[in-house]
Amino acid sequence: MVVLAVLIATVFVVSLMVGQTFYPLADVIAVIAGQDVAGATFTVGRLRLPRAVLAILVGLCFGLGGVTFQTMLRNPLASPDIIGISAGASAAAAFAIVTLSLGAAQVSAFAIVVGLLVALVIYALSFRSGVVGTRLILIGIGVAAMLESMTAYVLSQAAEWDLQEAMRWLTGSLNGSSWSQALPVLIALAVLGPVLLSQSRNLSMSQLGDDTASALGVRVNRSRLVVIIAAVGLIAFATAAAGPIAFVAFLAGPIAARIVGPGGSLLVPAALIGALLVLVADVVGQYALGLRYPVGVVTGVLGAPYLIYLIIRTNCAGGSL
């Protein structure tokens, strides 16, 4: 975790230094300290700093929310990207932009509410004397397919300007980041993050199976509902701020598991990896590929091959998803 924190700090500082105009480290530190530096005060303080902070916050939310679902349901495919939660927020945002013509703050609020509602619907549909991971995943995939169809229909009816705005949001982008976008995500992380961390022991026990966890004193259904609401809240707020940045929630947990190894809690490491993934992908998308790409494009390129690899590996091992 110390190494991950150092890497995040390093990439964070680099993201503030590089761009069309390069600013030395001393200028960046001066701006962060509140000093007035010609040129750097606006470029670093008003443009780059909110973007980098938002990247860290949404990465923490995606990583923590994603690994919570994967741990609770004992399946690496149980990610908000896969089971329909991100699709719910995306469909809501597209509908709010194209059909309701809402402003940015209203779109974010609408996406948060609908994301929570979709998660509760998926949970209710999959509940039958408890929630089985495979059942929830399959129902989530079906709900996601319906929501993606709704999103496609809404976009097909959109005017040119609304279509551009909706597609920018749906791709997952940190362009135009501001402190007003970062503040709600920070509050959500400060409130819901400790809730998930307090459930770390119950999550670990749930990996032994519902019966064993109940025998060890875990109130399984109550704990699971609390965890789902908190994790979905983090995902919804992050998605509302930056769009559904693809595969960050999906990748952070497995990477953390490989680094930490068996037996340790993955919540904090996965959150840090999520933050590092978003930061690095944003820097790569802006400066390393010749053209500027939204952060969601870069993470999608990273995540899609891993998803294919995971399915192939599971199939070759004779397991089930």
Q: Residue 184 above 80 pLDDT?
A: yes
% of the chain at pLDDT higher than 90: 26
| Domain boundaries, given as residue ranges, for the chain | 2-316
Using pLDDT thresholds of 50, 70 and 90, give the confidence band for residue 221. confident
Q: Which tens digit of pLDDT belongs to each residue from 15-70?
A: 999 888 888 999 999 988 888 888 888 888 888 999 999 999 999 999 999 999 88
Position 317 pLDDT exceeds 60? no
For residue 2, give the 3-state DSSP assignment: helix
pLDDT class of 90 with cuts at 50, 70, 90: confident
Q: Supply the pLDDT for residue 189.
A: 95
pTM attached to this predicted model: 0.88
Q: With 90 as the cut, is the pLDDT of residue 215 above it?
A: no
- Tokens in use for 159? 């005017």
DSSP-derived 3-state class of residue 129: coil
**First vs last Cα of the chain: how many Å apart?**
29
Mean pLDDT of the chain: 85
Using pLDDT thresholds of 50, 70 and 90, give the confidence band for residue 280.
Answer: very high
Can you give the pLDDT at residue 6? 95
Helix 248-260 / helix 267-287 crossing angle, nearest 10 deg: 120
> What CATH number matches the domain at 2-316, 1.10.3470.10, 1.10.357.10, 3.90.1150.220, 3.40.50.1220?
1.10.3470.10
Q: DSSP of 259-310, one letter per residue?
A: HH-TTS--HHHHHHHHHHHHHHHHHHHHHTSSS---HHHHHHHHHHHHHHHH
pLDDT at 65 (0 to 100): 92
* Beta pairing partners, 127: 131
* Average pLDDT over every residue of 258-282: 89
**164-168, 224-228, 280-284, 291-295: range with highest mean pLDDT:** 280-284
Per-residue pLDDT, 320: 45
Top pLDDT among 177 and 206 is at 177
What's the Cα-to-Cα distance from 4 to each of 42, 60, 205, 292, rounded to whole Å?
A: 29, 12, 26, 26
